[in-house]
Structures are given as C-alpha cells and as structure tokens.
C-alpha cells in the first residue's frame, strides 16, 4: 500500500462549544498511509502500517493547529505505526474486490469493553426514490433472521450523496425507505413527536460562516419546517409525552418551549448541562 493510494487513517470525535457538546462530529483524515498486509486462506497473517500524522486534516485550520499542539500532539509524535502481532481470521474473501480494515486503539493495559466502530455514525444508506445509493463506510449488516412482529417506522439520520446527514424513515420490516424532505443542511438528533406526525431535530449548515445549529420541527412528510431557535446555538431536542412542549439545550442551560417556538423558558437548574434532558414517559 503506497502513500496517497486509496487508504487513510483518521479520527472522529464529538466537537464541543466550550463545555457544551455540539450536534456534530469532527472528522480528521490523513491519506499518508504506507505499509503492507498479507491475507492468506481467509486470514490476515501479517500487517505493518505507518502513518504520517502531520497530514491529519479537518475542514478548519485552527482546529488542526490545536490538534497538532495539544490534542494528538502531532508536532511531537509525527508518525504512528501498527504491526500485527497475531493472525486474524477474516472469513472467505476470495470473491471480494474491496477489503476495509478498522484499527481500534486503547490505552496500554486497558481492556477493550467490546466491539467498537468509530465509523458507525458515518454509515450511508441507499437513497429513496431510485437514487444512487450512498457509499457504506461501516461493517456489513449481518443476521437474516425472521423479524419480530410489530409495525411502526424507524427514524434515523444517514449521510446522503451530498455528504450531509439527512433524515430517513424505514418500516420495522425493512421496507419503504423514505427520505424526509429535501435540505442541503445537516439534520441531526431527530426525535418523533408522541403522535408520530412531527419530527424535531437539529439543523446545522455545513459551512463555517453559517448560522449556528438550531432546533427545527418538521411534519413527518417533510413539509412545514419551522425554526424554533433562530440565531441561537441549540441542540438535543426532546418531546414531552403530551406533545405540547419540547425541551432543548442552549449554552449549557435547559429550555422548554412550545412546538411553534413560543413561550421558551429557561429552567434554572443551577448546573451546567453536558447532555440533553429526557421527559418521563406517561400522561
């Protein structure tokens, strides 16, 4: 594998605005990866990879400078290496045209709690309406068992062809994939209203000079979008059980508002929130 071929090494972390978790992840990539891997009989038998860490980049230079000096300290640790210590069975890859490997790092002496996928949030899905499918970045779906009985639709976000995270729904039987509305901005942290007719989510423009992310409400068919917190960086919406109120986080404080954005009030809990609140179920 030669540098700048088709490989990369990167990191994904949840960005923070001061002490408040932002509604998006920061992704850094370095294409300067070189090394060799050997696969024989469905087993990864050898691997030795070297990465030029100084070429890790995001879309914002000041952020990259911070990572060089304080985060990953790539000014000090300019290269990183990986050498396989024991064979890893991969299954039958004789008919595969692409093999994607994921390297998970833990501190020396620490135990890995379980399978980890740093690319889980970046898994793309096929586009609705016969559009070109997105490019999957996570592990393939496994299983094939009979689905449990029950109806309803699942609401989720996935990376569309334009590179932004979009709202999708799909039936519990795996049928009827639909994209909710058409928007070039990122649509994050979605949540159903209790009656299933509306969706609250965080809308964030993918440009550095754009307005801050804000909480929006949209009908389930993608129409009637309303900005509840214009000009105010807000995140982590949640519906009350009766559907008459929404909570969200702004500047580390907890707010409650009506679904039309009126009557917003700050709940003075006396602490700085690090994650959103969730309503108690029930009437």
Identify whether the C-beta of residue 88 lies closer than 8 Å to the C-beta of residue 44: yes
**How many Å separate Cα 138 from the centre of its chain?**
11
Backbone angles phi, psi at 64, to 5 degrees: -65, -40
Instruction: Report, as an integer, the average pLDDT of 50-69.
Output: 82
What percent of the chain shows pLDDT beyond 70?
71
- Residues 1 and 7: beta-carbon distance below 8 Å: yes
CA distances from 176 to 68, 88, 116, 179 (A): 45, 38, 29, 10
- Lowest mean pLDDT, pick from 15-24, 146-155, 159-168: 15-24
The residue to which tokens 């002496």 are assigned? 109
Domains and CATH numbers, the chain: 9-89 (2.40.128.110), 151-267 (2.120.10.30)
Determine the pLDDT at residue 113: 47
Q: What is the C-alpha to C-alpha distance for residues 160 and 163, in angstroms, rounded to an integer?
A: 6
> Which has more pLDDT, 156 or 67?
156
Integer angstrom CA distances of residue 281 from 94, 119, 193, 237: 51, 32, 13, 15
Return the pLDDT at 134: 47
Q: What is the mean pLDDT of the chain?
A: 76
Confidence of residue 6 (pLDDT cuts 50, 70, 90): low
At 175, the pLDDT band (50, 70, 90 cuts) reads: confident
Q: What is the pLDDT of residue 117?
A: 35
70-85 confidence digits (pLDDT tens): 878 888 888 888 888 8
- 3-state class percentages of the chain: helix first, strand second, coil last, to nearest 5: 5, 35, 60
Which DSSP letter does residue 70 get? I
Mapped onto helix, strand or coil, the DSSP state of residue 68 is: helix
Give ∠ CA 207-127-165 in degrees, rounded to 5.
25
pLDDT for the residue numbered 276: 77
Of 34 and 121, the one with more pLDDT: 34
Cβ atoms 14, 21 nearer than 8 A? yes
pLDDT in tens, 105-141: 555 565 544 443 333 333 333 334 444 434 454 555 6
Continuous segment of H or E residues that includes residue 64: helix 61-66
Residue 191 clears pLDDT 50, i.e. is over it: yes
State the pLDDT confidence band at 184, using cuts at 50, 70 and 90.
confident
User: 17: Cβ–Cβ under 8 A, 6 or more apart, which residues?
Assistant: 233
Which token pair is 67?
């990572």
What's the average model confidence in pLDDT over 27-55?
83
The pair of structure tokens assigned to 186 is: 């990122």
Residue range 234-277, pLDDT digits in tens:
889 999 999 999 999 888 889 999 999 999 999 988 777 767 78
Highest averaged pLDDT of the listed ranges 86-95, 180-189, 207-216, 217-226 = 217-226
The per-residue pLDDT for 55 is 87
Closest by Cα among 168, 164, 170, 171 to 156? 168
Which tokens sit at 246?
A: 């929404």
CB atoms under 10 Å from CB of 169, counted, come to 19
CA distance 17 to 213: 11
Q: How many residues does the chain have?
A: 283
Nearest Cα to Cα of residue 11 among 160, 138, 140, 119: 119
CA distances from residue 66 to 61, 72, 105, 107 in whole angstroms, order as listed: 9, 9, 21, 22
> Does residue 46 contact residue 19 with C-beta atoms inside 8 Å?
no
């Amino acid at each position: 594998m030669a540098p700048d071929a088709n490989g990369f090494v990167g990191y994904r972390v949840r960005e923070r605005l001061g002490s408040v978790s932002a509604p998006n992840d920061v992704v850094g990539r370095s294409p300067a990866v070189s090394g060799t891997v050997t696969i024989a009989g469905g087993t990864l038998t050898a691997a030795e990879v070297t990465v030029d860490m100084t070429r890790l980049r995001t879309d914002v230079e000041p952020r990259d400078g911070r990572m060089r000096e304080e985060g990953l300290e790539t000014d000090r640790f300019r290269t990183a290496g990986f050498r396989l210590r024991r064979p890893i069975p991969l299954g039958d890859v004789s008919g595969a045209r692409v093999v994607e490997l994921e390297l998970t790092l833990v501190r020396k002496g620490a135990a890995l709690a379980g399978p980890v996928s740093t690319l889980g949030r970046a898994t793309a899905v096929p586009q609705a309406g016969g559009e070109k499918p997105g490019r999957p970045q996570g592990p393939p779906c496994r299983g094939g068992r009979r689905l449990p009985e029950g109806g309803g639709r699942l609401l989720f976000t996935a990376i569309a062809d334009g590179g932004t995270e979009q709202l999708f729904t799909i039936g519990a039987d795996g049928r009827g994939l639909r994209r909710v509305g058409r928007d070039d901005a990122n649509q994050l942290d979605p949540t159903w209203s209790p009656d299933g007719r509306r969706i609250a989510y965080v809308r964030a423009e993918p440009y550095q000079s754009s307005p801050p992310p804000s909480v929006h409400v949209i009908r389930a068919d993608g129409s009637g979008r309303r900005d509840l917190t214009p000009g105010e960086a807000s995140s982590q919406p949640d519906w009350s059980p009766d559907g008459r109120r929404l909570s969200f986080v702004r500047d580390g404080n907890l707010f409650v508002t009506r679904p039309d954005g009126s009557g917003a009030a700050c709940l003075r809990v006396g602490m700085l929130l690090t994650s959103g609140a969730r309503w108690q179920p029930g009437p």
